[in-house]
Amino acid sequence: MRSERVFSAWDVPVIMVPDPEFDFEALVHSQVEEEDALAELDTYNPFDSQSPLSLPPSTPTHSHPPSPSPSHHPIASQSAAASASIPQPQVLQSLTHNKKQSRCNCKRKQEEEKQQPGSTRKIPCCLWRKHTHAAEPIVSEFDVADAPHATSGYVGIAEDTWKQQHTLEELLGPKFKFQHCEWQGHAATPIVDRQGHVITVLAGHPDDPDWESVHTEAADRLEELRRHCHLNDNQWKHRRGCFAA
């Protein structure tokens, strides 16, 4: 029986293990220390903004050695440089917004210029270079100022009796004295009178190597579908001429 500081004798038999080097107490302490170290690693937050330069807690003694100080860490410097060179999403969104805003401002300015009295639309420089500066006009002896004209677009009703077909030799002969100008159908070519007034313009066609096959196919398609088009009498007979409109 126990009485104050006097204890009874140990009567339980001693437990014997096969391995005499087995130290249960030392293994328990080792596992407890390792669990404490792993618990500190689990609670570490690498995205904590309060301490951006702090390192995670030390790993157990049997793991890899800790990394050098962040101030001398070359990988951190390379990562920072790489992240600085990559455009951030906010910067890309800002550039896209600026482009949209610029287009809206340009369109609004054009609409305001159209509303002003006497204003004319400004022709882009690329069109000037292609269709105006690069064009070689065909100058005729005709003078628009001497030609009869009317205040309206309709002089009278067109009739078939007014039409007469002429051959090319007749037009180039001494009666009409027309000038024959060869045109390849590509470059824009204006026809002007002797004062420089534009009478008409040979528009040409786009700079597309496939344009010949494209417009030929379109013309063949229209010719094929023409027999399916039916017009009434008012669409065939009108003051604009003897053609369907």
How much is the pTM?
A: 0.41
The answer on 226 and 197 residing in a single domain is: no
Asked, for residue 72, whether it belongs to a domain, the answer is: no
d(C-alpha 188, C-alpha 131), whole Å = 6
The answer on 134 and 145 residing in a single domain is: yes
Phi and psi of 95, rounded to 5°?
-65, -40
The answer on 171 and 132 residing in a single domain is: yes
The answer on 191 and 145 residing in a single domain is: yes
Pairing of strands 189-192, 198-202: antiparallel
The whole domain housing 197 covers: 125-155+164-204
The answer on 229 and 197 residing in a single domain is: no
| Average pLDDT of the segment spanning 83-103 | 68
The answer on 240 and 194 residing in a single domain is: no
Give the residue, 68 or 240, on which the prediction is more confident: 240
The answer on 233 and 220 residing in a single domain is: yes
What total number of domains does the chain contain? Answer: 2
Give the residue, 126 or 158, on which the prediction is more confident: 126
User: 37 with 58: CB under 8 angstroms?
Assistant: yes
The answer on 187 and 236 residing in a single domain is: no
The answer on 146 and 170 residing in a single domain is: yes
The answer on 188 and 142 residing in a single domain is: yes
Mean pLDDT across the chain: 74
Terminal-residue alpha carbon distance, the chain: 129
Residue 198: pLDDT over 80: yes
User: Given the structure tokens 């013309």, which residue do they identify?
Assistant: 219
pLDDT of residue 224: 93
The answer on 176 and 228 residing in a single domain is: no
Asked, for residue 45, whether it belongs to a domain, the answer is: no
pLDDT of residue 32: 83
The answer on 191 and 129 residing in a single domain is: yes
